[in-house]
Amino acid sequence: MESKRQQRVAKLVQKDLGEIIQQEMRHLTRGAMVTVTKVHLTPDLQLAKVYLSIFAARDKAGLMENIQRHAGELRGKLGNRIRYQMKSVPELHFYEDDSLDYIENIESLLK
């Protein structure tokens, strides 16, 4: 169970990181629509697991690898936005959120 502080910081990271990816770092997405669906933080707020939903991408694995390669740059931009709210910026690890694919698979099986 996450604490209230973890939830607030996760929501802040999710909002700001989503804006950074969609506006400032468009070259990373290669025309695909990338959305930050959820963020899980460790209790010490030093590590953030960021789940991304990817639409209209030909190579999702390549896109995820490209985003992970630029995690330091994304962390720097995030740090510029949240530097007054947090003492340190969490390390970012990106994962693909496949919950929508799972839901579509269940719906197709039910039909």
Res 102 pLDDT > 80: no
CATH of the domain at 104: 3.30.300.20
Q: Which domain holds residue 39?
A: 4-110
- In total, how many domains does the chain have? 1
Interval 74-86: pLDDT, tens: 999 999 999 898 8
Average pLDDT estimate for 3-32: 92
Res 65 pLDDT > 80: yes
Average pLDDT estimate for 9-24: 95
- Dihedral pair phi/psi, residue 54, rounded to 5°: -120, 130
Q: Which of the four pLDDT bands, split at 50, 70 and 90, describes residue 9?
A: very high
Supply the pTM of this predicted model: 0.87
The pLDDT of residue 49: 97
